[in-house]
Amino acid sequence: MLNRCFEEYKNNIKVCLLFALLLLFVPLFLIPFFGTGTALSSGTIFLEYRLSSSTPLLVLLAVLFLALYSFFVSLVVFAVRRDLSKVKVEFYLDEMVKKFAVRIFIFYTILMVIIFSLSTIASALGMQMMLAFLALAFIISLAFMFVPQAIVVDELPFIAAMRESMSFIRRNIKETLAVLVLGCALLLIVGVLEYVLDLFFMEFFAGEFAALLFTLIFIVPFVEIAKTYFYMLKFNLIRKSELVK
């Protein structure tokens, strides 16, 4: 199955490379607010959970980032759906992909606001509350990890997609664990890549930017491809077709 995911990544490489456009947000996040709430590490831009004068602008940038990110995710998920189910591409590209992207964007934005609000409160209450919040945030993220797939594949509104994500996980524990292991392994590779490059080019932040580039153009689309592939296997016709290959 991993081979099929690599095959799908290769077949849709142009769509996957679109994620590199998100690098345009890096200087917007880091330069104006350097040392005041943002940090670049392990292929991720981190925002500190505290309120400051720059918080409204950071939140606005995050929302803009999520809008573009949601559109790219919808394209990647749809590309895998197209390959496996042979949908009428022209109709869906014209009529549905934008709707999918909007629904995914609404979901991610609501999730971001909830997590940011709770984390800000938890950070003010001490380390124990912060650890409890991190555990809660992981559980929430895990429960809703297949929401983009439910939106694009099943064409559900985002609330129904949240329910379907949880239902899919209950029915497909093995596939969910496979995605988690895959994601953790890829993040470990990112950490090693960043560490090695920083040993030789620390003054140029080469490790941080290389890790972020690798995360955007490979890890994010590849994990979404894997999630979509496993999600599509819930349909008997597609499962049987894939078993023949």
Residue 25 pLDDT grade (very low, low, confident, very high; cuts 50, 70, 90): confident
**Structure-token pair, residue 116:** 């940011």
Alpha helices in 86-126 (DSSP H): 89-95, 97-124
What is the tens place of the pLDDT at every residue in 217-241? 999 999 999 999 999 988 877 776 7
| 40 in Cβ contact with 205 (< 8 Å) | yes
| Segment of 77-86, 108-117, 176-185 carrying the highest mean pLDDT | 176-185
pLDDT band at 35 (very low <50, low <70, confident <90, very high): very low
pLDDT score of 40: 56
Helices 158-171 and 127-143, interaxial angle, to 10°?
90
Residue 219 CB contacts under 8 Å (≥ 6 apart), including other chains: 43, 183, 186, 187, 190
- Residues 109, 87: Cα–Cα separation, whole Å: 29
Determine contact, residues 82/12, Cβ cutoff 8 Å: no
Q: Work out the mean pLDDT of the chain and round it to a whole number.
A: 82
| For the ranges 135-144, 147-156, 231-240, the one whose mean pLDDT is highest | 147-156
CA–CA separation, 120 and 216 (whole Å): 27
Whole-number Å distance between alpha carbons of 145 and 164:
10
Give the model's pLDDT for residue 190.
Answer: 86
Which token pair is 105? 């964007």
User: Both tokens of residue 67?
Assistant: 């809008």
Q: Where are the domains of the chain?
A: 2-244
33: three-class secondary structure by DSSP: coil
In tens, the pLDDT along 95-139 reads 678 889 999 999 999 988 888 777 777 777 777 777 888 788 888
Q: What percent of the chain has pLDDT over 90?
A: 35
Among candidate residues 230, 188, 201, 207, the one with its CA nearest the CA of residue 84? 230
Q: How many CB atoms neighbour CB 101 within 10 A? A: 23
Q: What is the mean pLDDT of residues 7-14?
A: 92
Residue 40 neighbours by CB distance under 10 Å: 19
Nearest to 41 by CA among 239, 209, 189: 209
Which of 39-43, 92-96, 170-174 is predicted most confidently? Answer: 170-174
